[in-house]
A and B are shown apart, each in its own frame.
Chain A
C-alpha cells in the first residue's frame, strides 16, 4: 500500500488530529480498488501507518461484506437476490449462472475468469433483476441477455 500513502496523507490533512481510525474505511477501499482484495500484509501496513490497533481494521473489514480477503476473478458478477430482484426472476438468473460457470456463489472459476457473488439490494429495484459486472450495472436481466453478456467477457 506504500504508493497510496500520498493519497492517504491528503485525506489525513482534512481531519483533526486523533481521528486516524476514521481513515480506516477510505484507505481500505483504495487498497481493494488497487489490489482487488485486502491482503494480510495490507492490514499490518495500514495498522502501522495509521497507528491503530489491528482489531480496528478487522472490525471494519468484517462489518462490510463488500470487502474481500481473497483474490477474485477478472470479472466479478454480483447478482442481487433481494426481494424485488427475486420477484422478477433473480432465482432463474442465478441458476443459469451456476450452470454456465459451474460454480456456486462465493466461488471463482478455476481459470480465474469469473467470481460469482450474491448481494443485497443494489438500489435499482425499478430495473430488477440486476447483475453488476465489475462496476457496471446490467439491468432488467433475462437468461438470454445473460448468455450474450457472458460471451463478451474474456
Chain B
C-alpha cells in the first residue's frame, strides 16, 4: 500500500490506483470530464492535472501512485492550468445553458463557475456544427456542445459493445457520429450515454424542453422490467413545485428514469426498457371496482369477494410475480392456508424485445419471480376438477385458458378487457404508488419508494388480502 501525500496529508493508496482514484477515495476532489470509473482511461480533457512536487504538472487520471509522492491538487500552478483548460474547452462551446436540458446537472457548467468564471477568450467566430443531429431515434446530439471527451464512444466499445459510436474528422471539426449500419439504433443500452455525457451534448427527445431538473425530484425505485431488478431513480415533478395552472397530470407523470448505481445488481447502468417505465406505469388505469362489469363501491366489491371465498371449497389463486415481497407475504399470511396458489407470469418477452444478454437483460420479464416462487413453488398453474373459485392477481392471463363456469375474483391495476368478465373486480395500486421490495434472480433484495399518492378508489393489494380473509359483512 503506497503512502502518498495529497496537499500535505498522508494517504494510504491502493496498489495500482491512479492519483485521481486515490484522491477521490480519500475525499480530495479533482475535477474530471473524460475519466469515468467504469470506462478505460482516455486522458483527453486534461482538466484533472495535478502538481507533483519537484515535477511538472500532469493528468491525475493516468498517473499511477508512487510511494512517497507529494501531490498538490490546488496549487497556483494547478489553478492556472485548470483555468486555461476551461478556456480551451469552451472556445467553441455555444454557452446556451438557458435552453439546455443538462443545465443544473452539467459538469461543464459547474466547473466553469468553480474554475474559470470568465467570458470566452476567443475573438474568432465560434465554429458551428450540427444541432439536434439524430444518432438514433432515442439519442440526439448537439455537436456544438460536445467537448469530445469520448465517454459515449468508449461506452459503446467497452460496456454495451455495439461499437456503434465514433468520432469523425479532426480537431475542431470533429463530430461524434453513429455507425451508418444502424447498430446504435439496436443498442439496448444506448441511453446510458446521455447520463455519461458530462455536458448537454447528448439528450433524449422524450425529455427535450419539458423539464428543468431543479423542478424534479428523484425517488429511489426498482425497475420491474426484468428479473435483474436494476435500481433506478424515477424523476417526477417536486410536490413543492407542483403545477397548478397547467394540466395537473404533469404532477403525477414520470419525467425520466436514470440508474441508481448499485454494484450488487446493475453497476452504473440500466437498459433502455428501464428508461421507458412510463410506458408500463402510465398505461390506462383501472380505478373502478366492478361486479360482472357493473361499477360498484370498493367496499361492496370486497364484501362480494369475501362471500365467494367463504363459500368456496377448492379455490385456486394465481399470484402475480409483480407483487412486492410485502404483498406476497401478506397474501401468504391471509389466504395461503385457504387457497391453492400458483405463481403467474404477468409478462413474457414482447415481440422484438431483447430477450437476454450477458450484461443486464434477463429473459424473465418480471421483477419478483424469485420471491413468489420461494413462497408458492414453481409448479405451473393447474386446475383440478372441482375447482370452484379463481382468484387472479395481476395481468397477462388469457381468461379463455381458465376453466369455464368458475367464478373469478380479479385484482388488476390496469384497464383491460378481462376486468369486466370477472365476477368481482378489484382495482389495485401500482409500484409507483407504494413502498416495497423485490427480490431479484440472484436473491438480492432492493427497495422502492412511492412517487405519487394512490387514489381512494384503488386499494393496496397488501391490505386487500387481509380484508378478503375476514368474514363477510359490512366493511370495517
Contact = CB atoms under 8 A, between A and B. Distances in A.
Q: Do A and B associate with each other?
A: yes
Interface of A: 47, 52-56, 58-59, 62-63
19 contacts: A52-B163, A53-B164, A53-B166, A53-B179, A53-B181, A53-B183, A54-B180, A54-B181, A55-B164, A55-B166, A55-B180, A56-B166, A58-B166, A58-B168, A58-B177, A58-B180, A59-B168, A62-B169, A63-B169
Contacts of B167: 59
A134 B395 CA distance: 72
A85 to B, nearest CB: 21
Contacts of A63: 168-170
B179 A54 contact: yes
Nearest to B164: A53
A55 B178 contact: yes
A53 B164 CA distance: 7
Contacts of A55: 163-166, 168, 177-180
Nearest to B177: A55
A47 B170 CA distance: 21
Interface string B270-286: 00000000000000000
Interface of B: 162-170, 177-181, 183
Given A47-B181, A58-B166, 19 more contacts: A53-B162, A53-B164, A54-B180, A54-B181, A55-B164, A55-B165, A55-B177, A55-B178, A55-B179, A56-B166, A56-B179, A58-B168, A58-B177, A58-B179, A58-B180, A59-B166, A59-B168, A62-B170, A63-B170
Chain A at the B interface: SS class: helix
Contacts of B162: 53
A76 B424 CA distance: 84
Contacts of B178: 55
B191 to A, nearest CB: 19
Contacts of A52: 163
A53 B162 CA distance: 8
Nearest to A64: B170
A54 B164 CA distance: 9
Sorted nearest first, the 9 A-B pairs with minimum C-beta distance are A55-B179, A55-B166, A53-B179, A62-B168, A59-B166, A62-B169, A53-B163, A54-B179, A54-B181
Nearest to A53: B179
Nearest to B175: A62
Nearest to A65: B170
A41 to B, nearest CB: 14
Contacts of A56: 163, 166, 179
A53 B179 CA distance: 6
A55 B164 CA distance: 7
A63 B173 CA distance: 10
Contacts of A54: 179-181
B452 to A, nearest CB: 42
Of A52, A53, A54, A63, chain B has the most CB atoms within 10 Å of the CB of A53
Contacts of B180: 54-55, 58
Contacts of B166: 53, 55-56, 58-59
Chain A CB within 10 A, most for which of B177, B180, B181: B180
A29 B32 CA distance: 37
